[in-house]
Amino acid sequence: MATTDIHPELRKAARFAPRRLITPLTLPVIRRLTVFQRARTDDVDILTLESGIGIRLYRPAGTETTAPALLWIHGGGYVIGTAAQDDLLCRRFVKELGITVAAVDYRLAPEHPYPVPLEDCYTALQWLARLPGVDADRIAIGGASAGGGLCAALALLARDRDGVKPVFQVLVYPMIDDRSVGTHLYNPGHRLWDATSNKFGWKAYLGGADPAVAAPARRTDLAGLPPAWLGVGTLDLFHDEDLEYAERLKAAGVPCQVHVVPGAFHGFDGIVAKADISTAFFYSQCDSLRESFGG
């Protein structure tokens, strides 16, 4: 399969998916549209922490003992998105693994640049560890796109601070490098997120912060991080930077399972969730999480 070939299961969706979703002009419009986003509330607890951070909490039915948990961080280029957008995914994790899942509504850039979104995620992690019924020694963290970037940054932050130490990190096509590295930055197979959107998202998130600190891929010391699962498609803008990060994790002694999907563009598993490649992508995450929890 050539580097520009879209996977057969994704070709129909690719015809309608935009190559660029976020720009300074479209940002206000997309944010307004998310206000009308509908999500089920019958089996989820919608909470607000003392800090003002929102949490959507999903629990397995009939669990009487302590169980592992996953802190999930939504994507959106650091500038859009809500925890509710991943309702279906979080429910699937609960059903498949029998764990508690907490999805965090962190504050968004550019109004709240680094380190605010990251600190929001850290606060949610500490809260989750104190939640009755959660095994504080078996908490994983995960996220997609910008959520994957925040997950990688959270793993680094938790390593460097006293407190909860996640046992695993799930990095779903994570947005981790503000330099937009790679050899196919303008690949015609890209969808949803391109190099122009990436520059805008990073500029909004970084504000005046030092990229060497704020961007996980720029961090030089990756030793001591929790084991990881990293997945990305070959037509994802983040493909090269993600695989490079995975290799650096391994070089630092951090186990990292890599799942590459040929012909898959950014966010493919959310757009065509029932495709075989999307299902395999999800269950690969589940298998790694289950192993990390000792199940």
- Annotated catalytic residue 284: no
* Residue 1, domain member (yes or no): no
Mean pLDDT of 160-172: 96
How high does pLDDT run on average in the chain? 92
Mean pLDDT of 25-34: 84
Residue 18 predicted with pLDDT over 90: no
Identify whether the C-beta of residue 151 lies closer than 8 Å to the C-beta of residue 141.
yes
Mean pLDDT of 5-33: 87
Which residue intervals of 207-275 are DSSP H helices? 211-214, 239-251, 268-271
Q: Does 158 or 193 have the greater pLDDT score?
A: 158
* Residue 273, domain member (yes or no): yes
- Annotated catalytic residue 112: no
Q: Give the domain extent around 243.
A: 8-292
Q: Grade residue 38 by pLDDT with cuts at 50, 70 and 90.
A: low
- Each residue's pLDDT tens digit, 4-17: 689 999 999 988 88
Of 4, 13, 43, 2, residue with least CA distance to 278 = 13
Mean pLDDT of 118-146: 97
Please report, for the domain that includes residue 274, its CATH number.
3.40.50.1820
Identify whether the C-beta of residue 73 lies closer than 8 Å to the C-beta of residue 106.
yes
Mean pLDDT of 128-144: 97
Q: Grade residue 29 by pLDDT with cuts at 50, 70 and 90.
A: confident
Residue tagged active-site, from 240, 266, 278, 292: 266
- Looking at residue 39, its pLDDT comes to 64
Residue tagged active-site, from 86, 87, 145, 278: 145
* Residue 170, domain member (yes or no): yes
Residue 266 predicted with pLDDT over 50: yes
- Each residue's pLDDT tens digit, 169-224: 999 999 999 997 655 667 777 888 899 899 999 999 999 999 999 999 999 999 99
Residue 37 predicted with pLDDT over 70: no
Mean pLDDT of 31-49: 79
Residue 22 predicted with pLDDT over 90: no
Residue tagged active-site, from 177, 236, 240, 242: 236
- Annotated catalytic residue 236: yes
Q: Say how far apart CA 137 and CA 180 lie, in whole Å.
A: 35
* Residue 3, domain member (yes or no): no
- Looking at residue 1, its pLDDT comes to 45
Tokens read off for 216 = 């996980």
Give the rounded percent of residues in the chain with a pLDDT score beyond 90: 80
- The pairing of strands 54-58 and 100-105 is antiparallel
Mean pLDDT of 231-253: 96
3-class SS of residue 257 = strand
Mean pLDDT of 27-37: 78
* Residue 2, domain member (yes or no): no
Tally of structural domains, the chain: 1
* Residue 26, domain member (yes or no): yes
- Looking at residue 188, its pLDDT comes to 76
* Residue 280, domain member (yes or no): yes
Mean pLDDT of 154-180: 96
